[in-house]
């Protein structure tokens, strides 16, 4: 009896399963509009599409205090000390507001050439003794040059911090630039240029900058043209140092096992020969601002198997409040690589469409900021026969951001962005770099409690407004190389815009900005923080100052009482309508 009952149950289950499958097939055959899937609860653990709750980031925002001292020479010293028990290494570096965009006409490549020559011997150390000293300590000494900044830094054990500061001061103030070293380094840089030409992504972004900032130093390459490299002399290098390596444009940043007062004393004692010229990078930029030129640079190369291209719109500067929504837009568009093979499951709608139709080998959204302007767009690698359809999908997804964005995908993008920012500062080297760069760009170190509040304030309405301002009817720059004969021309981007009732809400939030102060801090941190300036003139100088003003600082250990801050924010928000 039991056997017959179990057999009957199996038949019943099979019949029901067949009926369900038949119903699913019949439903799938009917044309219907796709429904927005419910957001995965895992994505909503630390955030919510609802704008009213205050998000609790207290579990991972207890960072050591950032300390800042400005010396009479104008040099700013910023440190972030880790507990001695947690770190036995330190990173010390010098961040300088000088890059390739500040080079005089006809001298493009000097900033990068100087980066190479700075390690070739000083009046106190030969190139060999410098190298041996670093290796004997087990340290690491490095440098890099960008379009707006030059950086020299050292990673050392805690006991060797003083030596690292001394080495940095020596190479920046006492380098000799011998002729034989300049001649040898020319060959090194020319070989580096050949290597860069083999890195197609680097070439594409050089082409893109040339198209976006045609005729401006920001559109030049960092390495410079070959004829400049062959002609750079000791006089050019010394003139660049005396003009741009000035105290007011310099930040010494240290992180890890360091003590602020000791770093300040060492810098004040050793960094004594820099110019005190008060001219700032902002003044130089204002004298020659970058202008976005919507043009194209196409290099046809049938010998390449795949086409590489990047499309870009004019972006925002570092301190533009729109930089935060554009960061979220970059996260929304996302990135995808065919070798990973998970595009169909990606949270990015662009990645899903590209992966499903097999349109590309790789796509990557980017957002680059400079002092007065920026670039944001998408870089792609694809087969020649996919270029037209891929271009159409790319532009469709970019334009979609102006009128059809769900809160669920914005929540996911915000969470991905915050995770990426936290992962980026893992270790003393990254912390030192982050603090040094922010001191140059913002004039302060942006506290994570504030940065995350700005990110969490970006909702779907803010994304659509930003997209309308930066994408619709705006010029497009393009850099492309490879078999690109099928790549269509990208003209001014336009589409019909559906009016949104949220426009009024955004405008209302901006008008209420005049009411900002610590008394109504809830507006600042939740409702409209993404439209605040990012400069130090903001009311938010640091999370330390905020919690101290609110009486929420633990005087015993100097740590921030984030639970109390969250409760205070909640009280403020609940006291007034949103």
Instruction: Supply the residues annotated as catalytic.
Output: 115, 185
Q: Which residue has the tokens 């290796």?
A: 135
Query: Do residues 460 and 505 lie in contact, with contact meaning Cβ atoms separated by under 8 Å?
Result: no
Q: φ and ψ at 152, to 5 degrees? A: -130, 125
277 CA to centre of own chain: 30
Structure tokens at 105: 């006409």
Query: Do residues 161 and 207 lie in contact, with contact meaning Cβ atoms separated by under 8 Å?
Result: no
Q: What is the DSSP letter of 52?
A: S
> Among 206, 399, 432, 199, which residue's Cα sits nearest to residue 313?
399
Separation CA 112–CA 62 (nearest Å) = 38
Separation CA 43–CA 48 (nearest Å) = 9
Query: Do residues 399 and 496 lie in contact, with contact meaning Cβ atoms separated by under 8 Å?
Result: no
Separation CA 89–CA 71 (nearest Å) = 25
Looking at the DSSP assignment, which residues form a beta bridge with residue 151? Answer: 95, 144
SS3 of 478-515: EEEEECCCCCCCCCCECCCCCCCCHHHHHHHHHHHHHH
Structure tokens at 123: 């009046």
- Using DSSP, state whether 360 is helix, strand or coil: coil
Query: Do residues 151 and 94 lie in contact, with contact meaning Cβ atoms separated by under 8 Å?
Result: yes
Write the CA distances from 21 to 34, 154, 365, integer angstroms.
20, 64, 40
Structure tokens at 498: 């559906």
> Among 309, 273, 458, which residue's Cα sits nearest to residue 381?
309
Query: Do residues 323 and 317 lie in contact, with contact meaning Cβ atoms separated by under 8 Å?
Result: yes
Separation CA 85–CA 256 (nearest Å) = 11
* Count of positions (residues) in the chain: 578
Separation CA 506–CA 499 (nearest Å) = 13
Give me the sign of the Cα torsion angle 285, 286, 292, 297: negative
- Using DSSP, state whether 99 is helix, strand or coil: coil
Contacts of 464 (CB under 8 A, 6+ apart): 401, 402, 403, 405, 500, 502
Q: What is the DSSP letter of 288?
A: S
Separation CA 477–CA 210 (nearest Å) = 9
């Amino acid at each position: 009896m039991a056997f017959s009952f179990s057999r009957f149950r199996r038949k019943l289950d099979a019949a029901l399963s067949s009926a369900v499958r038949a119903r699913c097939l019949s439903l799938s055959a009917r044309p219907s509009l796709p429904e927005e899937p419910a957001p995965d609860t895992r994505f909503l653990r630390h955030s919510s599409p609802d704008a009213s709750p205050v998000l609790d980031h207290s579990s991972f925002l207890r960072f050591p205090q950032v300390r800042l001292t400005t010396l009479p020479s104008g040099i700013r010293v910023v440190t972030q000390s880790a507990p001695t028990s947690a770190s036995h290494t330190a990173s010390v570096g010098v961040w300088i507001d000088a890059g390739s965009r500040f080079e005089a006409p006809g001298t493009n490549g000097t900033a990068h050439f100087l980066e190479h020559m700075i390690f070739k011997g000083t009046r106190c150390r030969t190139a060999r003794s410098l190298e041996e000293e670093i290796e004997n300590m087990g340290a690491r000494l490095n440098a890099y040059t960008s379009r707006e900044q030059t950086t020299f830094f050292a990673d050392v054990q805690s006991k060797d911090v003083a030596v690292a500061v001394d080495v940095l001061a020596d190479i920046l103030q006492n380098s000799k630039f011998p002729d034989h070293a300049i001649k040898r380094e020319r060959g090194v840089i020319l070989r580096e240029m050949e290597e860069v030409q083999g890195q197609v992504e680097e070439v594409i972004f050089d082409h893109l900058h040339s198209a976006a900032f045609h005729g401006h130093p920001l559109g030049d390459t960092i390495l410079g043209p070959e004829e400049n490299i062959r002609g750079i002399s000791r006089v050019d290098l010394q003139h660049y140092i005396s003009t741009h390596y000035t105290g007011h444009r310099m930040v010494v940043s240290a992180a890890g096992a360091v003590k602020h007062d000791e770093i300040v004393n060492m810098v004040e004692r050793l960094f004594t020969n820099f110019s005190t010229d008060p001219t700032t990078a902002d003044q130089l930029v204002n004298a020659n601002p970058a202008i976005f030129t919507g043009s194209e640079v196409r290099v046809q190369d049938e010998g390449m198997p795949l086409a590489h291209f990047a499309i870009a719109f004019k972006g925002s500067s570092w301190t533009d409040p729109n930089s935060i929504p554009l960061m979220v837009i970059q996260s929304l568009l996302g990135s995808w690589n065919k070798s990973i093979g998970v595009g169909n499951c990606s949270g990015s709608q662009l990645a899903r469409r590209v992966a499903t139709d097999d349109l590309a080998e790789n796509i990557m959204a980017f957002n680059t900021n400079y002092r007065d302007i920026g670039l944001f767009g998408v870089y792609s690698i694809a087969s020649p026969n996919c270029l037209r359809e891929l271009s159409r999908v790319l532009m469709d997804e970019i334009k979609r951001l102006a009128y059809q964005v769900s809160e669920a995908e914005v929540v996911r993008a915000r969470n991905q962005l915050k995770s990426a920012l936290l992962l980026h500062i893992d270790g003393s080297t990254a912390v030192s770099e982050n603090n040094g760069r922010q001191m140059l760009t913002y004039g302060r170190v942006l506290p994570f409690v504030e940065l995350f509040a700005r990110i969490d304030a970006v909702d779907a309405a803010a994304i659509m407004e930003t997209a309308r301002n930066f994408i619709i009817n705006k010029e497009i720059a393009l850099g492309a190389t490879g078999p690109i004969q099928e790549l269509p021309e990208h003209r001014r981007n336009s589409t019909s815009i559906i009016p949104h009732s949220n426009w009024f809400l955004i405008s209302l939030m901006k008008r209420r900005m005049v009411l900002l102060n610590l008394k109504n801090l809830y507006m600042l941190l939740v409702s409209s923080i993404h439209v605040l300036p990012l400069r130090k003139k903001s009311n938010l100088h640091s999370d330390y100052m905020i919690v101290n003003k609110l009486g929420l600082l633990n005087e015993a250990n100097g740590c921030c009482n984030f639970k109390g801050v969250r409760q205070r924010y909640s009280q403020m928000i609940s006291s007034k309508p949103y």
